[in-house]
Amino acid sequence: MLRDALATSAAGTDFIRRDLDALLDGDYLRSFGLDRCYEELATVTGIARELDVPFALSETVEEIHRRALERFGPVDGELLAVALLEEEAGARLRHGPEAAGELGHKRVAG
């Protein structure tokens, strides 16, 4: 019900229409690497900084992805930043059987 309301509202995005259900089922979209996500976000936010363009929200997203990359390593899962936030909050968004702390990813020594 919430997904349908969001999908048809001003908050509606391709993510909500295509990927939210998968995320809620515990799928962190392992078709694209977390390291590549971070790399792309860092590039975009770097360009914004060079041009002196305010980009605070994207910088926050970049930081969360950096922390997720430190936590999970360069593995496939473009939505693993969500898993990190679930761990940090001690709560999960998913209704699947796997809890955020049981993802099977090991911390990467840094």
Quote the pLDDT of residue 12: 78
Alpha helices in the chain (DSSP H): 2-7, 14, 20-24, 34-50, 56-72, 80-89
Compute CA distances 74 → 13, 16, 24, 37, 48, whole Å: 27, 25, 22, 10, 25
The answer, as to whether pTM is greater than 0.95, is no
Q: Which domains, and CATH codes, for the chain?
A: 28-95 (1.10.1040.10)
> Contact, 98 vs 26, CB < 8 A?
yes
pLDDT of residue 10: 80
The answer to whether the Cα torsion of 59, 42, 90, 107 is positive or negative is negative
Q: pLDDT tens per residue, the chain (110 residues)?
A: 777 787 888 877 888 888 888 888 889 999 999 999 999 999 999 999 999 999 999 999 999 999 999 999 999 999 999 999 999 999 988 775 554 445 544 444 34
